[in-house]
Structure 1
Amino acid sequence: MCGFLEAANYMQLASLLHKFRYIYIPLSVAALKVVDATTTSSDRATHPVPPPPAASSSHGEDFAKVVVVRHGETAGNALRIIQGQMDIELNETGRQQAVMVARRLANEAKPAAVYSSDLKRVAYTAQTIATACNVSNLVLNPALRERHMGDLHGLTFDDAVRSKPDAYKAFTSEDRSQEIPGGGESLDQLSDRCVSYLNTIASKHKGERVIVVTHGASIEELCRHADPTSSVRMRIPNTSICVFHISSTTGHWILKKFGDVAHLKKVSFPKTAFN
């Protein structure tokens, strides 16, 4: 079957959309460029805690260790729906994945803070991790949201090709400055937003370890920033782990670990998951 789903599948999709209450949270590209995770009015902290402590020079390290985690699976991932900045909760598999990655991270060095996109699928994953790691400093910030997908929001990839060909062409364009019709972001805009925010986090946590929970396309851009020579299409599985060393002094990024899913031994995840 090519293109459009059969009527039965449309009914299933409509039921899932209603069940999981897809909500689109509009946010302009300009508003996304938040640079202060702990003091801006756009932040939503889950606990009334003070800002993270200033970087400690006693660690003797010039960089922050930033552990970046993708959110768990959603129904949209399983159905290959372009979610972008639509707000949807994890499905049962995603919740299991969140528990498993949280258990793994709880057995590693305790992070100074956990940062997260404010969308539900990421916030739930981040809260699960923060609880397991006994970290009260959890900061939700829209700067870590997925790419704004414009007119493609809510469509399957197959339907997007037929019903929104111009938007889909922009989405698949190799021109990194190409914005997606309907208010969508370009890859350059996505990269600038996410990289800027991680640099801000790194400057606050020099010599410390922090966890950042975000989305697939956002992580791809972070990896490309660390290794701009890579031309390989990156696959970012749900709750996979990437580790960056980021120097706020030199601005240098090193990708130390990529796409690690060693914790997912008993939970399946879609190979083609996106967003």
Structure 2
Amino acid sequence: MSSSGATEEEMEIPEGYAEIVVVRHGETSWNASRILQGHLDPELNENGRQQAAAVANRLSKEPKFNAIYSSDLKRAAETAQIIANQCDLKEVILDQQLRERNLGDLQGLTLVDAQKMKPNVYKDFLSHKIDQEIPGGGESLDQLHQRCVSSFRKIANQHRGERVIVVSHGGFIRELHRKAAPNRKLEGKIQNTSVNVILISASKNHWFIKKWGDTSHLQGIGALDSGFGGDKTSG
């Protein structure tokens, strides 16, 4: 796994693999206000649009991408459209399977209010049991994991030998890391518009992390650390 290196994008894709560049959406006002978003649908804030423009500019300088996929939630779809425009990709393929974890009864609450108003639900949210569902229709981590893996296997199978972009969410991307590096603890958070590169062979069920957590394109965008989510409370 690498965190930097401009020549890596030029390396050939191993036979039978797809190279998937995974980008977390830009910042929203709900991120900045520490509100749990889940499947609710806030738009990017101004800082988020600047972040999206920065990652779009960065990706436009890399070798050609064959397609771009995105969660259909506005914060991801808008980020993806900004990238698509800059990278000369005609269509953003929207997919509900790329959404953030459904947080059930906690969606729309700040983290503080969630602890105060729904302590039992919040406890389930932070449970170490990966099969613990969140009341109100929320997903367990295991359900989220299965959704992540299934959607990425499908994309990888359709794009063998190709490079594609996927724009998704912090909790979703954390589960990709768990699949690709099950024995490596994920430190820190998934920053807004961070770039993560995964090689996937759908036929061999082999996942390999090529790059993780690269935010070098965000230098000079001051509100990077204000973005909430991307850690174990992501949503």
Using the size of structure 2 for normalisation, the TM-score is 0.90
Residues 166 and 181 in structure 1, CA contact (< 8 A), matched pair in contact too: no
Task: Give how far 1:230 is off.
Answer: 2.4
Which runs of no fewer than 5 residues in structure 1 stay unpaired?
1-57
Output the amino acid matched with 1:174. H
**Are the aligned partners of 2:41 and 2:75 in contact in 1 as well (CA < 8 Å)?**
yes
In the alignment, structure 1 residue 251 sits paired with structure 2 residue 212: no
Q: Does 1:86 align with 2:40?
A: yes
Corresponding residue of 2:9: none
Superposed, 1:184-203 pairs within 5 Å as 184-203=138-157
User: Are positions 1:108 and 2:51 aligned together?
Assistant: no
Question: Could you tell me whether the CA contact under 8 Å between 1:245 and 1:255 is conserved in 2?
Answer: yes
Structure 2 residue aligned with 1:270, among 215, 225, 228? 225
Quick one: which amino acid aligns to residue 97 of structure 2?
A: A
Contact kept, 8 Å, 2:13 with 2:19, in 1: the verdict is no
2:4 is matched with none
Change beyond 3 A, Cα 1:128–1:272 = closer
1:73 and 1:94 in contact (8 A); partners too: yes
Q: Residues 27 and 227 of structure 2 are in contact (CA less than 8 Å); yes or no, is this contact kept in structure 1?
A: no
How far the C-alpha of 1:60 sits from its partner, in A, is: 6.3
RMSD, matched Cα: 1.4
What's the CA shift for 1:177?
0.1
Match of 2:5 in 1: none
Structure 1: how far apart are the matches of 2:109 and 2:82?
A: 29
Alignment of structure 1 residues 130-169 onto 2, 5 Å = 130-169=84-123
**Aligned residue pair count:** 218
1:180 is aligned with what amino acid? I
2:134 aligned residue? 180
**Greater RCO, 1 or 2 (C-alpha within 8 Å, sep 6+):** 2
- Uncovered stretches (5+) of structure 2, i.e. residues with no partner: 1-11, 230-234
Structure 1 letter corresponding to 2:78: Y
Distance 1:157 1:134 in 2: 39
Corresponding position of 1:36: none
Mean CA deviation greater in 261-270 or 177-186:
261-270
Q: C-alpha displacement at 1:270, in angstroms?
A: 2.7
Residues 167 and 181 of structure 1 are in contact (CA less than 8 Å); yes or no, is this contact kept in structure 2?
A: yes
Which amino acid counterpart does residue 166 of structure 2 have in structure 1?
V
Q: Does 1:124 align with 2:78?
A: yes
Q: Tell me which residue corresponds to 2:190.
A: 236
Match of 1:223 among 171, 177, 181: 177
Contact 2:70 2:92 in 1 (8 A): yes
Contact 1:220 1:234 in 2 (8 A): no
Give the secondary structure class of the aligned counterpart of 1:270: helix
Q: TM-score, normalised on structure 1?
A: 0.77
